[in-house]
Amino acid sequence: MKRYVYINDNESSHELYCDNRISNRKYTVLNFLPKNLWEQFSRFMNQYFLLIACLQLWSLITPVNPASTWGPLIFIFAVSASKEAWDDYNRYLSDKKANEKLVWVVRQGIRKHIQAQDIHVGNIVWLRENDEVPCDLVLIGTSDPQGLCYVETAALDGETDLKTRVIPSACMGIDFELLHKIKGVIECPNPDKDITRFDANLRLFPPFIDNDVCPLTIKNTILQSCYLRNTEWACGVAVYTGNETKLGMSRGIPEPKLTAMDAMIDKLTGAIFVFQIVVVMVLGIAGNVWKDTEARKQWYVQYPIEGPWYELLVIPLRFELLCSIMIPISIKVSLDLVKSLYAKFIDWDAEMIDYETGIPSHATNTAISEDLGQVEYIMTDKTGTLTENRMIFRRCCISGVFYGNESGDALKDTKLLNAVAGSSPDVVQFLTVMAICNTVVPIKSKTGAISYKAQSQDEDALVNAAAQLHMVYANKNANILEIRFNGSVIKYEVLEILEFTSDRKRMSVVVKDCQNGKIVLLSKGADEAILPFAYVGQQTRTFIEAVEQYAQLGLRTLCLACRELREDEYQEWSLLFKEASSTLVDREWRIAEVCQRLEHDFEVLGVTAIEDRLQDGVPETIETLRKAGINFWMLTGDKQNTAIQIALSCNFISPEPKGQLLLIDGKTEDEVCRSLERVLLTMRITSSEPKDVAFVVDGWALEIALKHYRKAFTELAILSRTAICCRVTPSQKAQLVELLKSCDYRTLAIGDGGNDVRMIQQADIGVGISGREGLQAARAADYSIGKFRFLKRLILVHGRYSYNRTAFLSQYSFYKSLVICFIQIFFSFISGVSGTSLFNSVSLMAYNVFYTSIPVLVSVLDKDLSEGTVMQHPQILFYCQAGRFTVSPPFLAFFLLYNRASESEYICWMVWSIFVPCNCCVCDHHTCLCLREK
């Protein structure tokens, strides 16, 4: 399905597409009550309580006052409904603010100031600097003569750097005044939530004739909620409006996560319900038999001889009402209450504030704190999670010469400095690639200092390093780049940018030297994406060695390469590229294919090595958590050697004699199968030895293993306490989490970047590190923390306490309900099985609320052990993981009932024995008090 947007056509699209009214509201004033009630009543527990409450309205069968159920029920509903209403009202207010914001829109050829909600698809919207974008726009003009503008997309993807956006080539050079009158059609896909793709075409109508269909990409759009920066003005055509924008579409409600404890409580509730039905049936039958045989003789009750048709139902229903108390109505409220307090404790914790950035920890999901205490597997990302993600250029290898090996810092290596000063051509070429083969935007401040806005930390490190080596990337003016080197200015024209994708693992730019007109392809990428494509005859051995050497030091490597292109070769390819870029289907794949045609026969220039330091406290945290019986898996997109190196340096795996690394590799199914079996065998043998065995697998082998040998791999996953998965894609990360979850393990995924989002959402608990790669992960996560080391406190302190407290609270809730219920049941044996309540309604309600619910809430402050003790002996966590309180449901139910039964029997017996022989005691229906003579 496609959408045709007619630019500046005021009427035609009005009915077809919605206006720009943003609505995040779940309810309206009218449908709030029914909709909210419907939602609440879709829960089994609530249905049950409603049924009970309704039955209680029938005065014939109710042993207690209906208020004792209606009261709490209405209270619970009122609390959750008002919470919903409050949230919804706030959403309404923020929507209203956004909807009523005034924007400049072209109407009948004149620019008008109208409310944002009145924008329609096809309208031309004008924005000034620092304006928020009201809907998804296709750029058609900016103040920049080259048609560039800068946007900040922080609200969309959490990345704080500026992104460049450019107007489509067809709109290039249209006069400022004429933009009001522009007509045309944009052919674009139906709204979707992919914020990285916009595969559309633009065709302008006369007089703006341009025969070509102009391809549009995400680069030609500015999306809702972004901010226009560093650009005086920009204007664009609204293509998606209201809730159909990319932001609006991606604003889904994630599926709520259930904790193990919740599932347990649900099961227990079910078990008790079944038990209750049995009790009701047995007692109901007994009651009816009793009534027919004995009770008729009791003249004082005046039983009618012939009762109504429902007579037989009365006693069972009465027992049902009497036993309804078995399922504690208060448990949901109390649990919600204490859980939100756990979350607050996490937010408040002064020891989990990242003082470098001042970001406190935050619990987005308030409902799953106790799961933290039951974590068994932690899947962690490497870059930015274990490491700081602050890239520093450390070493390089240019044409076989190693720089920076002695001092550990190439920037201080006199050899390299001399080579730069001497303008050695290899080095100059290398530095040029470092400086311009990227998507960095240089921004000149008023003092003349240049700062760089880069999307990737690696590019930032390379450009900065190049600048320090006197190759300064000074200015970018549309397609013209300016580089200052040793005092001279070199200009390049950027012809194409072949962007980085995780499949291609490299990025390239095609530039034209403005001095001599030579066209050059500059590439940088992972070693396996560059080195195999070196031209025939080039010796790449030193580079391979360099890559290995650097990887062993835990450095990130990139290979730089270039190739001179012939004019005709470029022209020919350029057409193909243009065509691929304007396809609507499979565009990414097509582009990759076309790029492949250009990216070969490289002249490899050298290898760069970038250091990414470990965060503070990472080794200690991992060691402590491993002692607590938590297994660690590292899932990284990085190279195997780098991953292993980092793993060694952060206690992830032990070095040789104590630890052992098993490799699973292979390119074909057979190879992978063999190596998998070998590893599995070793693993089985060594599982009894106190030896740290870990396996390493790369993305390729993992793909095969998951596809064809899932069973063997699952067994391996269960056996192995540690694993390193390198070169894995985001979806593989999520698959691995899924795999462990399917083995009934509690998993926690921690990561910081957009590539971890899927894994974080998939895991039982997702933890995001609000790091340098943006806030994407932190937003998708259930918990966001500033540093990896806070994970220790999050799990051992908050997780453990929450678990213990919730376990106590839920057990107690069931316990107290069962106790009072069993008293009632036993009482029925001495009250002629007629379903009479021993307690009056007020006492029952007071028992449930004042005596047993509110005081117990204090347990939310209970600490069984001090924080220090838990940190010192993390093994204690084992009791939580094993689910001390969560024995298998049927057994637990039996256990609970058995224990409670004997207890209430005792209480009942006690009541009896006190009062039966009690002289001169007036034993009362409500309370039993002794009346004494004076």
Partner 1 sequence: MDTDRERHRARETAFYLFTQQSLPACKPVLTPGWVIAIFLFMGVIFIPVGLISLRASHCVVEIVDRYDIDCVPEPSRMDKVSYIQDDSIPKNCSHFMKPVPPITWKVSCISPYAEPYTFSSAVITRHYTAVKTATEYVKSRSDKQLLDGQKYHDTSSCQPVESNNNRPIVPCGLIAWSLFNDTFEFIREGAELKVNRKNIAWKSDRGHKFGKNVYPFNFQNGTLIGGGKLNPEIPLSDQEDLIVWMRTSALPSFRKLYGRIEEDLDVDDVVVVNLMNNYNTYSFGGKKKLVLSTSSWLGGKNDFLGHACVFVGCSSLTLAIIFMLLHVKYRRPYGDMSYLPWNRKSFSG
Q: What φ, ψ does residue 87 adopt, rounded to 5°?
A: -60, -45
β-pair partners for 242? none
Helix (H) or strand (E) holding 702: helix 699-708
Helix (H) or strand (E) holding 562: strand 556-565
63 lies in the binding site for partner 1 (CB under 8 A) = yes
CB–CB of 517/527 below 8 Å?
no
198 lies in the binding site for partner 1 (CB under 8 A) = no
Least Å distance between CB 359 and partner 1? 17
Q: From the annotation, which residues make up the binding site for ATP?
A: 381-383, 459, 500, 524, 556, 636-638, 727, 733, 755-756
CB–CB of 766/736 below 8 Å?
no
CA–CA distance, 466 with 411 (Å, rounded to integer): 9
Rg (CA), the chain: 35
Q: Which of positions 338-357 make contact with partner 1 (CB under 8 A)?
A: 344-345, 348-351
289 lies in the binding site for partner 1 (CB under 8 A) = no
Least Å distance between CB 790 and partner 1? 15
Least Å distance between CB 373 and partner 1? 15
Residue 924 burial (CB count, 10 A): 11
575 lies in the binding site for partner 1 (CB under 8 A) = no
923 lies in the binding site for partner 1 (CB under 8 A) = yes
Least Å distance between CB 345 and partner 1? 6
- Give the angle subtended at the CA of 254 by the CAs of 252 and 255, to the nearest 5°: 135
Q: What φ, ψ does residue 351 adopt, rounded to 5°?
A: -85, 0
Q: Which of positions 875-894 make contact with partner 1 (CB under 8 A)?
A: 875, 878
User: In the stretch 777-816, what mask flags binding to partner 1 with x, by CB under 8 A?
Assistant: ------------------------x---------------
Of residues 246 and 291, the one with the C-beta less far from partner 1: 291
Of residues 102 and 289, the one with the C-beta less far from partner 1: 289
Task: Give the binding-site size for partner 1 (rule: CB under 8 A).
Answer: 57
911 lies in the binding site for partner 1 (CB under 8 A) = yes
At residue 694, the 3 state secondary structure works out as strand
165 lies in the binding site for partner 1 (CB under 8 A) = no
Q: From the annotation, which residues make up the binding site?
A: 381-383, 459, 500, 524, 556, 636-638, 727, 733, 752, 755-756
300 lies in the binding site for partner 1 (CB under 8 A) = yes
Q: Is-catalytic flag, 175?
A: no
Task: Tell me 80's DSSP state.
Answer: H
Stretch that binds partner 1, among 3-11, 30-38, 230-238, 910-918 (CB under 8 A): 910-918
Question: Of residues 157, 381, 413, 692, which has the active-site annotation?
Answer: 381
863 lies in the binding site for partner 1 (CB under 8 A) = yes
Of residues 649 and 831, the one with the C-beta less far from partner 1: 831
293 lies in the binding site for partner 1 (CB under 8 A) = no
The type of residue at 843 is S
Beta-carbon contacts of residue 222 (< 8 Å; ≥ 6 apart):
127, 133, 136, 137, 139, 149, 151, 165, 228, 234, 236
In a 10 Å sphere around its CB, with 0-12 CB exposed, 13-18 middle and 19+ buried, how is residue 41 labelled?
Answer: middle
Following CA atoms 158, 160, 161, 167 in sequence, which dihedral angle do they give, to the nearest 10 degrees? Answer: 60
313 lies in the binding site for partner 1 (CB under 8 A) = no
Of residues 231 and 828, the one with the C-beta less far from partner 1: 828
Q: Contacting partner 1 (CB under 8 A), which of 47, 94, 298, 423?
A: 298
Stretch that binds partner 1, among 276-284, 617-625, 768-776, 911-919 (CB under 8 A): 911-919
Q: From the annotation, which residues make up the binding site for Mg(2+)?
A: 381, 383, 752, 756
Q: Which of positions 827-846 make contact with partner 1 (CB under 8 A)?
A: 827, 830-832, 834-836, 838
The CA–CA distances, whole Å, from 518 to 487, 489, 572, 578, 600 equal 22, 17, 16, 21, 18
Of residues 178 and 916, the one with the C-beta less far from partner 1: 916
Name the one residue in this structure whose structure tokens are 């052992």: 660
Q: Which two tokens stand for residue 861?
A: 């402050």
Stretch that binds partner 1, among 163-171, 245-253, 293-301, 787-795 (CB under 8 A): 293-301
Of residues 297 and 711, the one with the C-beta less far from partner 1: 297
Task: Tell me 638's DSSP state.
Answer: S
Q: Contacting partner 1 (CB under 8 A), which of 295, 312, 392, 495?
A: 295
CA–CA distance, 814 with 327 (Å, rounded to integer): 7
Residue 184 burial (CB count, 10 A): 22
Q: Contacting partner 1 (CB under 8 A), which of 861, 882, 899, 906?
A: 861
CA–CA distance, 270 with 538 (Å, rounded to integer): 71
Task: Tell me 487's DSSP state.
Answer: T
DSSP state string for 853-916? TTGGGGGGG--SS-HHHHHH-GGGHHHHHTTTT---HHHHHHHHHHHHHHHHHHHHHHHHHHHT
Q: Contacting partner 1 (CB under 8 A), which of 110, 209, 299, 515?
A: 299
2 lies in the binding site for partner 1 (CB under 8 A) = no
Of residues 300 and 309, the one with the C-beta less far from partner 1: 300
- Which of 300, 265, 248, 264 has its CA nearest to residue 133? 248
Q: What φ, ψ does residue 852 adopt, rounded to 5°?
A: -120, -15
310 lies in the binding site for partner 1 (CB under 8 A) = no
Stretch that binds partner 1, among 326-334, 604-612, 648-656, 825-833 (CB under 8 A): 825-833
Least Å distance between CB 319 and partner 1? 11
- Which of 161, 99, 143 has its CA nearest to residue 236? 143
Least Å distance between CB 925 and partner 1? 4
Of residues 102 and 830, the one with the C-beta less far from partner 1: 830
At residue 693, the 3 state secondary structure works out as strand
Least Å distance between CB 302 and partner 1? 5
445 lies in the binding site for partner 1 (CB under 8 A) = no
Residue 628 burial (CB count, 10 A): 23
Provide the binding-site residues for partner 1, judged by CB under 8 A.
59, 63, 291, 294-295, 297-304, 318, 344-345, 348-351, 801, 827, 830-832, 834-836, 838, 861, 863, 866, 873, 875, 878, 910-925, 928, 930-934
Q: So which residues are the catalytic ones?
A: 381
